[in-house]
Structure 1
Amino acid sequence: MSTTTATAAEQIPSSRTEADPARVARGKPLTHTAGVPVYRWGQAPEYLRTKTQLVADRLNVTEAQEKSPLAYVRTREYGDVPLHDPAAAERMRPLPSSTKAKMAARRTCSECGKVRKAILRGPCSVCRERAEKERQRLLARTCAGCDTVRERPYPKEHRRCAGCRQEQLEKKRARVEAWLVEVTVCAGDDCTKRLGSKKAARAYLKAHDWLLRPERTDLPDSMWWPGWSRRCTPCKTAYDAEQERRRAEYQARYEREQKERRAAEARAAEARCRWAAAALADPDVLVLDTETTGLGEDARIVELAVLNSRGEVLLDTLLDPGVPVPGEAADIHGITTEALVGAPTFSDILVRLTGLLDGRRTLIYNDVYDIGRLRHELTLHYLDRAAREAAGEAASTGTVPENSRKRAVAEAAKQAAAWLDAMHFEDVMIPYSDWVGDWSEYHGNNRWQPLNGGHRAAGDCRAVLDCLRSMGRNYVHEYTTAAAGAGGTSEGTT
Structure 2
Amino acid sequence: MKIKSHTFERLNRRPLPPGLRHQQGGRMPKTRNHLTPAEAEAKGLLCRKHLKERFRLMPGLNTKPAGSVWQGQGAYDVYNPAECVPWRWMPGRAQVRRQHVAAQAKDLIAAGCIVLDTETTGLGDDAEICEITILDVTGAPILDTLVRPTRPIPVEATAIHKITDAMVASAPSWPEVAEQYAAAVAGRTVVAYNVAFDARLLRQTYQIHGLTAPVLTTACAMLMYAEWHGEYDRSRDRWRWLKLIEAATDCGVAEDGAHRALADARMTLGVLRYLQRRTNGRRPAGPKVATVPQEGRPQKLSATPDHFGKVLPHVLSRTQRHRARHDPDRPVQWLQPAQACPADEPQPLDGQP
- TM-score scaled by length of structure 2: 0.51
Q: Which residue of 1 aligns with 2:278?
A: 474
Contact 2:9 2:15 survives alignment (8 Å):
no
SS for the counterpart of 2:115 is strand
- The reply to whether residue 358 of structure 1 matches residue 162 of structure 2 is no
Match of 1:272 among 78, 84, 101: 101
Contact 2:99 2:279 survives alignment (8 Å):
no
Aligned residue type for 2:101: R
Q: Distance in 2 between matches of 1:251 and 1:461?
A: 57
Aligned residue type for 1:296: G
- The reply to whether residue 427 of structure 1 matches residue 220 of structure 2 is yes
Alpha-carbon displacement from aligned partner over 1:85-120 (angstroms, at most 9, x marks no partner): xxxxxxxxxxxxxxxxxxxxxxxxxxxxxxxxxxxx
Equivalent runs, 1:39-54 vs 2, <5 Å: none
Q: Which residue of 1 aligns with 2:336?
A: none
Equivalent runs, 1:292-441 vs 2, <5 Å: 292-381=120-209, 383=210, 415-416=212-213, 419-420=214-215, 423-441=216-234
Structure showing greater relative contact order (alpha-carbon pairs closer than 8 Å, 6 or more residues apart): 2
Equivalent runs, 1:193-272 vs 2, <5 Å: 239-241=9-11, 245=15, 266-272=95-101
Q: Determine which structure has more spread, i.e. the larger CA radius of gyration.
A: 1
Q: CA deviation at 1:312?
A: 0.9
Q: CA deviation at 1:470?
A: 2.0
Cα 1:189–1:442 shift into 2, 3 Å: closer
Aligned residue type for 2:100: A
Write out the 4+ residue segments of structure 1 that deviate beyond 4 Å after TM superposition. Answer: 262-268
Alpha-carbon displacement from aligned partner over 1:288-321 (angstroms, at most 9, x marks no partner): 1100011111111010000111111111111110
Identity %: 29
Contact 1:279 1:309 survives alignment (8 Å):
no
Cα 1:251–1:472 shift into 2, 3 Å: farther
Cα 1:294–1:264 shift into 2, 3 Å: same
Unaligned runs of 5+ in 2: 18-69, 77-90, 246-254, 281-353
Contact 1:280 1:310 survives alignment (8 Å):
no
Cα 1:188–1:456 shift into 2, 3 Å: same
Q: Which residue of 2 aligns with 1:450?
A: 243
Q: Distance in 2 between matches of 1:467 and 1:357?
A: 20
Q: Which residue of 2 aligns with 1:124?
A: none
Q: CA deviation at 1:424?
A: 2.1
Q: Which residue of 2 aligns with 1:459?
A: 263
Q: Distance in 1 between matches of 2:267 and 2:183?
A: 24
Aligned residue type for 1:455: H
Q: Distance in 1 between matches of 2:75 and 2:194?
A: 41
Q: Which residue of 2 aligns with 1:209?
A: none
Q: Distance in 1 between matches of 2:233 and 2:16?
A: 35
Aligned residue type for 2:239: N
Q: Distance in 2 between matches of 1:475 and 1:341?
A: 46
Aligned residue type for 1:370: D
Q: For this pair of structures, how many residues does the alignment match?
A: 201
Contact 2:97 2:227 survives alignment (8 Å):
no
Q: CA deviation at 1:438?
A: 1.6
Q: Which residue of 2 aligns with 1:197?
A: none
CA RMSD of aligned residues (A): 3.3
Q: Which residue of 2 aligns with 1:188?
A: 3
Unaligned runs of 5+ in 1: 1-185, 191-217, 219-235, 253-261, 384-411, 477-494
Aligned residue type for 1:366: N
Q: Distance in 1 between matches of 2:129 and 2:16?
A: 62
Q: CA deviation at 1:267?
A: 4.2
Aligned residue type for 1:188: I
Q: CA deviation at 1:357?
A: 1.3
Q: Distance in 2 between matches of 1:348 and 1:365?
A: 25
Q: CA deviation at 1:280?
A: 3.3
